[in-house]
């Protein structure tokens, strides 16, 4: 995917994560646990990445990722500026499903939900985007990398980046599961290490 190392951090837990609601392009605030996860991930970066203070940071434009990034940078001792916001790292857009619980989606959109369970990579929720479409913008982002980087983004974004790095078949990526909120993932030349 890229010759550079990506230190991937998923945003901290949000209120909607606890309610099992799809967020997509809508934001929900971090919980206390989510803020604690961000602090713990900052400590992991300090301990595991000696060059952490000189690496570039890039973040999704969405509020939950930016809130997590600010907590991480403050704990590391970095200012609340000097990082890049990249639209290509925004969460997969779930369209009309955003803000709904998984149970509500399954009830209101039963036929589409059933299709998604068998063809998740190509399936596009109403007014949303597919994993396949999101992967193209993430591949584009990765091609633009010029150095190792710390990324703070989202569950589906992490799922796609991790899968592309490991060379997984596309449909397998879609079903691989989101990265955890309380881990830093080092993605490097086809390998992955949880820090």
Is 41:76 a contact under the CB 8 Å cutoff?
no
Number of domains in the chain: 1
Q: Which CATH number belongs to the domain containing residue 17 in this structure?
A: 3.40.50.1240
Domain range for 184 is 10-194
Is residue 5 in some structural domain? no
Is residue 160 in some structural domain? yes
Is residue 143 in some structural domain? yes
Catalytic machinery residues: 11, 91
Is residue 4 in some structural domain? no
Is residue 31 in some structural domain? yes
Is 2:167 a contact under the CB 8 Å cutoff?
no
How far is it between the farthest Cα atoms of the chain?
50
Check whether 1 has a pLDDT greater than 90.
no
3-state secondary structure of 110: helix
Q: pLDDT digits over 101-153, tens only?
A: 999 999 999 999 999 999 999 999 999 999 999 999 999 999 999 999 999 99
Is residue 47 in some structural domain? yes
Report the distance separating Cα 49 and Cα 118, nearest Å.
39
């Amino acid at each position: 995917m890229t010759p550079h190392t990506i230190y991937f951090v998923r945003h901290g837990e949000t209120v909607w994560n606890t309610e099992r609601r799809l967020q997509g392009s809508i934001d929900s605030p971090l919980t206390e646990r989510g803020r604690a996860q961000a602090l713990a991930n900052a400590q992991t970066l300090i301990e595991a990445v000696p060059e952490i203070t000189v690496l570039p940071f890039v973040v999704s434009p969405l509020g939950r990722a930016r809130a997590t990034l600010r907590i991480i940078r403050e704990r590391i001792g970095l200012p609340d500026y000097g990082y890049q916001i990249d639209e290509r790292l925004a969460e997969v857009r779930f369209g009309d499903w955003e803000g709904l619980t998984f149970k509500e989606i399954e009830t209101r959109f039963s036929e589409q939900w059933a299709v998604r369970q068998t063809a998740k990579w190509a399936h596009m929720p109403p007014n949303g985007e597919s994993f396949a479409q999101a992967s193209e913008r993430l591949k584009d982002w990765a091609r633009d990398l010029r150095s190792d980087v710390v990324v703070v983004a989202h569950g589906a974004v992490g799922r796609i980046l991790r899968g592309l790095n490991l060379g997984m078949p596309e449909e397998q990526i879609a079903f691989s599961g989101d990265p955890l909120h309380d881990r830093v993932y080092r993605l490097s030349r086809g390998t992955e290490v949880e820090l």
